Amino acid sequence: MGPGLPEGAETVRKDTEKPSFFVRLATVIVDKRKLIFFLYACALLFCLFSRNWVSVCNDITEYLPDSTETRQGLTLMEEEFTTFGTARVMVSHVTRGIAEDLAEQIGEIEGVSSASLGDSIGAEEDGEAETPEDIASYFKGADALISVTFAGEEDDESALAAMEAIRELLAPYDFYIDSSVGDSQADSLADEMGIILAVAAVIIVLVLLLTSRSYAEIPVLLLTFIAAALLNLGTNFIFGEISFVSNSVTVVLQLALAIDYAIIMLHRFLEEREHAGDREACIAAVSAAIPSISASSLTTISGLAAMMFMQFQIGFDMGIVLIKSILFSMLSVFTLMPGLLMLFSKAMERTRHRSFIPRIDRWGGFVLKLRHVGVPLFIVALVGGFFLSNRCPYVYGYTQIETARQNESQVAEQRVSDTFGTQNVIALLVPRGDYDSEKALLERLEACDQVDYAMGLSNIEVMDGHTLTDALTPRQFSEMTDLDYELVCLLYTAYAAEEEAYGRIVGGLDDYAVPLMDMFFFAYDKAEGGYVDLDEGQQADLDDLYEQLDNARVQMLGENYTRMLINLNLPEEGAETFAFLQTIHREAERYYDADSVYLVGDSTSDYDLSVSFARDNIMISVLSVVFVIIVLLFTFQSVGLPILLILVIQGSIWINFSFPGMAQKPIFFLSYLIVTAIQMGANIDYAIVISSWYNELKAEMSRRDAIVQALNLSFPTVLTSGSILSSAGFLIAQITTEPAIVGIGECLCRGTLISMFLVMFILPQILFLGDGIVERTRFDLKVPEVARSAHGTVYVNGRVRGRISGVVDAQIQGVIYGDVSGMLETGAYQKEEEPAHETEDS
């Protein structure tokens, strides 16, 4: 006899209708739960290892569109130049003599190319006496600034080892190191997110204890969350590389965004178990939850999908990772959670407790009384929020963003910058070969008030006042290098022959001028090849000079381009800075084609991000609203209701971002884009829950009572989901030190709290006052239904519309003694005797 049937109700049962697809699927999931447990165990074991396979990108500029100047310039620099790691080391409470000694010792460390007191770029000796301003640039009070250049790029093992050696050398001193060498953003974020997850887990448990009906529900929900999170982390490697933003916040946001699915499944199971056995209740809950949860998730997925259309590709990266996390959350709820419910069902029965969430009937009455005040105030707030949110001071770099906490590298950068000022260095790439144009351009740039210095091959002095690109005659080259004049003439002859300048050989070499750098490297190659004999002293001098010049060459001269470095005395971003970037372009275009000039640096990156933000902001705002409206249109089959719901959530977004607009507090542009998409996609669910209950209840009671009851029934869901999402945002804002992620947490926390208030206070008033609009804009989507008839003793498990000795429209589970004729939407009829008669109604 089947569980839940009265004694003697059935001896032999025979299906009169084939169960629906979802019922059959749910039956397989519940009955094969042990196999599913085994498959999950294998998958989770695999994910424990595979989650370490994903590569994390710490450079936000990697996600700039290929069409941007910064991305094109960075690609060129990666292909043609070597960029050695650098560091600004500030040592406090030392004398100038001690500082000079420390700089010398650092310079002798293996892996360090140079170390000197002063600026890391352009601190060349020119033989002139230092002015007090020169000294102040590297020594203030008892603080000394040592500029270090490493012999490798910032991620080279040699540079990392040298950095460790510098830290050991300076251990007895009070020091601060501002450098990207050895500064792993991903590692520090991973540590911070570990703390956030631990605290979030405690908060989630407390919230679930508050909203649960039995204590044994907690492990069911937690195991489902953990499995979904681990599956998502373990499959990120399929993307090859993800951003540090996606890698860090996805787990926390996944738990916050997808918690509704598990709670819906749990509550459905508990409701079904009131009048059925565990197995039948679980099958009914799963078969009903799969379509409803899938439909509910579409709004969240729609908001995240809007991010994927951003021109700034980090939106695509984060959107696809978060969408995958939502899908894995649903998969865990649909396949793993039913087995867990069966496993913990008896414990759930034994550990039942009273509900800790009070009824809020009085709140519902209070809300309706204020409807003629609340709605006008909301309209004012909506308009004000729109204008104030458009005054948000968006920033595109980190220099103006304050975080609640700072990590060690951020503290060091701040201390060095406060004492010796900030650096804003940009690289200018132009076609190589025209040294005269390069020199003229550098002179024009150095004449600008906004430029501290401009450095390139054409103005780097080597000795005797000569620069690397100065053209020298044999006599000048001989005097500068102390090489025998006859030997130099032979070198010039060989050089002319190699360049096929035979007229020079015939006409004489006295006035044949060759750029110093070109001739030096030619001479060095000949010496290395044994074509030129040098004594030990000459060879040593040649080797020392070669090392210096080769470092300059690999950094400044590429196969097709030459690189110049410009240090601006302007902030990293701002109207004046962005305008001066265009000035640099105009100066460079005096000598080079516009298509062949590239600027690369933090300022240019910020400028490109500001340009892409203008498009992405409109794109996300429009697409997220359009996608959600389409989902709501099919959900509610009304034109008016989706507009009212969108109005409330879009209003919460505008009000959310009016706070930084009023306070003129800088907000990172990426935080705005991501939170806008998440808030629209996730918080709309709160409005959907209330609206769904109201639509269903107003058919059975007055509109006033329906609103009050809808708020009562929705409050646990809104409270659970909203409190977890806002808590997750708060923890991210307070614990992480990454400026881009801090903004996401802060805005998400504030936005969720605003949404919770609006859907619990303003939305009921709007639904009540706008009910006429909603009803007048309804439309019907005709879905073919199947009319089924049966008589005798019939077991019903599903939703039935029709006549059973009267009219019925209810969720029925039990045995009917009599005739049945109605539309069976889910579930199946089963009768004891003869097969039921079927008819199909078109």
Three-state secondary structure call for residue 12: coil
How far is Cα 69 from Cα 612, in angstroms, rounded to an integer?
12
Other Cβ atoms less than 10 A from the Cβ of 595: the count is 7
Residue type, 80: E
The pLDDT value given to residue 831: 45
The pLDDT value given to residue 531: 67
Strand partners, 146: 89, 117
Q: What domains appear along the chain, each with residue ranges and CATH number? A: 1-17+786-842 (no CATH), 18-47+186-396+607-776 (1.20.1640.10), 86-179 (3.30.70)
How far is residue 822 from each of residues 47, 580, 810, measured CA to CA in Å? 48, 76, 12
The string of DSSP letters for 475-512 reads: HHHHHHHT--HHHHHHHHHHHHHHTT-HHHHHH-STT-
Residue type, 28: V
Among residues 220, 216, 231, the alpha carbon closest in space to that of 39 is found at 231
How far is residue 138 from each of residues 7, 106, 129, 424, measured CA to CA in Å? 93, 16, 15, 17
Q: H or E stretch including 360?
A: none
Among residues 613, 611, 614, 604, the alpha carbon closest in space to that of 570 is found at 604
Please give the structure tokens belonging to residue 625.
Answer: 């609203």
The pLDDT value given to residue 210: 80
Three-state secondary structure call for residue 776: helix
Mean pLDDT by 10 residues, the chain (842 residues): 41 50 88 93 93 84 86 90 89 90 90 78 50 79 89 86 92 90 71 78 81 85 90 91 83 76 83 83 87 78 85 88 91 93 89 80 88 92 91 87 83 88 89 88 91 87 77 84 80 82 71 83 76 67 73 84 91 91 93 91 90 84 83 81 87 92 88 82 80 83 89 84 85 84 88 91 91 82 48 51 51 54 47 42 38
Helices (runs of H) and strands (runs of E) counted in the chain: 28, 21
End-to-end CA distance of the chain: 36
Among residues 282, 264, 260, 269, the alpha carbon closest in space to that of 326 is found at 260
The pLDDT value given to residue 16: 46
The pLDDT value given to residue 331: 93
How far is Cα 626 from Cα 615, in angstroms, rounded to an integer?
16
The pLDDT value given to residue 123: 43
How far is residue 127 from each of residues 124, 356, 380, 461, 584, measured CA to CA in Å? 9, 80, 69, 11, 30
For 593, half-sphere exposure in the C-beta direction (CA atoms, 13 angstrom radius) is: 5
Q: Burial of 540 by CB count in 10 Å (0-12 exposed, 13-18 middle, 19+ buried)?
A: exposed
The pLDDT value given to residue 114: 85
DSSP collapsed to 3 states, 163-215: HHHHHHHCCCCEEEEECCCCCCHHHHHHHHHHHHHHHHHHHHHHHHHHHCCEC
How far is residue 688 from each of residues 297, 633, 644, 726, 771, measured CA to CA in Å? 11, 12, 11, 19, 15
Q: Are 279 and 342 in contact (CB under 8 A)?
A: yes
Among residues 303, 349, 200, the alpha carbon closest in space to that of 730 is found at 200
How far is Cα 200 from Cα 127, in angstroms, rounded to an integer?
61
pTM of model > 0.85 = no
Alpha-carbon torsion (704, 707, 709, 711), positive or negative: negative
